[in-house]
Structures are given as structure tokens and as C-alpha cells.
Amino acid sequence: MAGQSRLDGSVRRFASIVLFSVSVFAAVSGCAKVSEGAGNDTDTQQIMEVKTDFDAYEAVMNGKDQFLYFADGEDKAQSMNLMGVLDVFPSVGSAYKEIAGFAVVDLDGDGEQEVVLQITDVGADGGGFLILRCKDEQIHGYTANYKTFSELKTDGTFAYISLARPDDGIGTIRFREKGYDMIPFACSKTSYDLKTVTYQKGQKRISEEAYLDLKKQHQAKTDVVWHPWNQDIF
């Protein structure tokens, strides 16, 4: 009975994720995009396009298809199975890395949804994130460090912390042909001697009070929904 209960729970969770994913993946172009005709009607062809779009991500997430992994700064992609990405993140605790969950969100505000997977590790500086993006009818993948997508919101903005310095900020993503750039919306900047801190909104210098207010405004936004990872449900 316990096994049946777990199975029933997985089925219910899968059903909810499918329903959720169909609605959010409907906006993804490249693999498939639902167009709006007169009267905003949805026909059989549009429904099949949504299914095709979801299947493209599903096939990568269940390990049946590979995706094109673009390492930071590299022009040439590597075909990779999803679980193979665990070896991309450097950490002494690599044997304990796992995919913890995923979220569906429009990272760059272009109306097309991406998938963000969180990779965790036992090490304090281990793990990170994998961004899956549908481009040119293929799934592309890019990594981000573990301090990138803190407080990820439904509008694609997020809080981040610098790896090398005691700086933080609020930013978003801008995709390019073979990767992405992080675009700071507001940030703190510490001097090289670590004695002074300045604050910016875009290219404009602002006060600490104004910066903290921007952080509060960001925190008040709606968080993305992180779904627990279970490859078996795909």
C-alpha cells in the first residue's frame, strides 16, 4: 500500500506539472509557438504545437534526448545528456551533486519561457543552475553559478551575489547567439581596498537607502514556482 501511495502521489504530481507546463510552454517559440488568430481561438493545430513544445523540453529532462551545452566563453557546443551536466560544476563533493528542482520562467522578458534547473551539492560552494532555452528548434543549455538566481521572480529578475567580492545586486538575463549576459538593474560595488561601498541603478549612482528600497521592491515581487525534481515523472 505504501508503494501504491507513492505511485499515486507521483502521478498526481506529474499531472499537475503537465498542466502547469502546457500553459507556460505555450509561449515558447522556436520549438513551437502558439499564434493568436482572430477572436483569440485555439484550434487543434495550436494544441498540437503546445504538446510538441512541451515534448521538446520533456525529452531532454527525462534523458531521452540530448541538449546543446555551451560552456561560458566557448563558441562550439557539446551534445550532452541532462545528468552529464552535473560534472560541469566544479566541487570536491561532486559525488553528491544532484538536480534539486526546476522552474519555468521568461528570463529575458521576450515572451518565451525558459527552464531553470537547480543543481545542489554538499559543498558550500558547489552546485549552480542550468538554463535550458529553446532556440532554432533545439534545446540549448547554459550554466550559472550557485549565487546567481537567488530570489528568482516571475518577471525574470533575480538577486545575485558576487563570487569574488562582497557585492550583490538585482539583475536579469539577456541571451546572445551562444550564451547570455547578466544585466545588472541595481548593484553595490566595493572598492578594491574594501573600504568603501557605492550603489548604482543602471549607470546612475544612488544612495544606500535608495538601493535598499529597490531590494525591498524586488523581494515583494512574486517568486517563481520551484518544482521538486524527479526524473521518473517525465
The order of strands in the sheet holding 179-190 is 158-161, 168-176, 179-190, 197-201, 204-206
In sequence order, what are the residues at sequence separation of 6 or more whose Cβ sits closer than 8 angstroms to the Cβ of residue 94? Answer: 86, 87, 121, 126
pLDDT of residue 144: 92
pLDDT at 165: 80
pLDDT score of 194:
86
Per-residue pLDDT tens over the stretch 47-79: 334 445 577 888 999 889 999 999 887 778 999
State how far the Cα of 166 lies from the Cα of 132, in Å rounded to an integer.
Answer: 29
So what's the pLDDT on residue 14?
Answer: 40
Which range (30-39, 46-55, 181-190) has the least confidence? 30-39
Q: Is 158 helix (H, G, I), strand (E, B) or coil?
A: strand
Residue 30: Cβ within 10 Å count: 16
Amino acid letter at 186?
Answer: A
> pLDDT-based confidence at 21, cuts 50/70/90?
very low
Q: How far is CA 111 from the centre of its chain?
A: 15
Domain definitions of the chain by residue range: 2-34+42-233
> pLDDT tier at 170 (50, 70, 90 boundaries)?
very high
Closest CA to 230 of 6, 2, 5, 1: 6
What confidence tens digit (pLDDT) does each residue in 72-128 have? Answer: 877 789 999 998 888 887 665 556 788 889 999 999 999 889 999 998 887 655 688
